[in-house]
């Protein structure tokens, strides 16, 4: 795989609580230089990222209900709507993990559907936080994501007890087929990790180590 091809899989991510506007501008410069697919940031940084990426092909991505997924559905939806109003092209939302653990897939689906509606034309990716789910719960979560009209199922926030695994990416891909796309995120820090996730079925890679991964590929 050529560096330019791999770069188009990458959502260059900065979701740390201590991220400053200076840090965000640096990440945007890196994304522009390497032609990453998107820059993913917390909602407060969306206007800055949109301005920094203006007139480029790099997308602006933000999060909602992050990182716990425990916000009230109305707040998740409003947070998504505001991010889109301020320039976000994509929204990565965290599923209501506790409701899924309780077995209330209907409420999970309704939560996701509200964000999808609020996001309008923006792409919605749903983080199911695989580290907390059983295999059956992961499959049920994928079905809820699909039924709610989201475009992607995503493995992890990177703030849980574990991140993306090849086995989970393969399971998500097998479950959703070609009906949804799959985003792997959390702990992807090397070229080997990224290529393994893509081989398992990932359409997108969320990583803060995107620059290092591309440099590793270039040798």
pLDDT tens for each residue of 67-84: 999 999 999 999 999 999
Q: Which of 162, 157, 182, 159 is nearest to 172 (CA)?
A: 182
The CATH number of whichever domain residue 186 belongs to comes to 3.20.20.70
- 92 three-state secondary structure: strand
Q: Is 92 a catalytic residue?
A: yes
Catalytic residue among 125, 168, 183, 193: 183
| pLDDT score for 83 | 98
Q: Residues 38, 14: contact at Cβ < 8 Å?
A: no
Tokens representing 140 are: 């049920």
Q: What does the longest C-alpha to C-alpha distance in the chain come to?
A: 48
Assessment of whether the complete model's pTM goes beyond 0.85: yes
| pLDDT score for 97 | 98
| pLDDT score for 80 | 98
The torsion defined by the Cα of 213, 15, 122 and 153, in degrees rounded to 10, comes to: 70
Q: What's the number of domains the chain is made of? A: 1
Catalytic residue among 59, 125, 138, 154: 154
Going by pLDDT thresholds of 50, 70 and 90, the confidence category of residue 190 is very high
H or E element at residue 11: strand 10-14
For the packed helices 210-218 and 191-200, what is the interaxial angle rounded to 10 degrees?
100
Mean pLDDT of all residues in 54-59: 96
Query: How much of the chain, in percent, has pLDDT values that exceed 90?
Result: 99
Catalytic residue among 92, 111, 168, 193: 92
pLDDT tens for each residue of 83-104: 999 999 999 999 999 999 999 9
Q: Which of 40, 31, 36 is nearest to 61 (CA)?
A: 40
| pLDDT score for 18 | 98
Residue 121 lies in domain: 3-218
Q: Is 183 a catalytic residue?
A: yes
| pLDDT score for 3 | 97
| pLDDT score for 39 | 98
Tokens representing 139 are: 């499959």
């Amino acid at each position: 795989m050529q560096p330019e091809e791999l770069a188009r899989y990458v959502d260059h991510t900065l979701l740390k609580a201590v991220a400053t506007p200076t840090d965000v501008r640096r990440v945007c410069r890196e994304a522009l230089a390497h032609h990453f697919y998107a820059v993913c940031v917390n909602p407060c940084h969306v206007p800055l990222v949109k301005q920094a990426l203006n007139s480029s092909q790099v997308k602006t991505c933000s999060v909602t209900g992050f990182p716990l997924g425990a916000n009230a559905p109305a707040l998740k939806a409003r947070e998504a709507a505001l991010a889109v109003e301020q320039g976000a092209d994509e929204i990565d939302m965290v599923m209501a993990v506790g409701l899924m653990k309780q077995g209330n897939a209907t409420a999970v689906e309704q939560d996701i559907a509200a964000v999808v509606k609020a996001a309008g034309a923006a792409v919605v990716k749903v983080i199911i936080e695989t580290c907390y789910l059983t295999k059956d719960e992961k499959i049920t979560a994928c079905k809820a994501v699909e039924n709610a009209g989201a475009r992607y199922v995503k493995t992890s926030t990177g703030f849980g007890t574990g991140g993306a695994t090849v086995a989970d990416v393969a399971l998500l891909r097998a479950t959703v087929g070609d009906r949804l796309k799959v985003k792997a995120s959390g702990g992807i820090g090397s070229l080997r990790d990224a290529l393994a996730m893509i081989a398992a079925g990932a359409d997108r890679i969320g990583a803060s180590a995107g620059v290092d991964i591309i440099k590793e590929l270039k040798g």
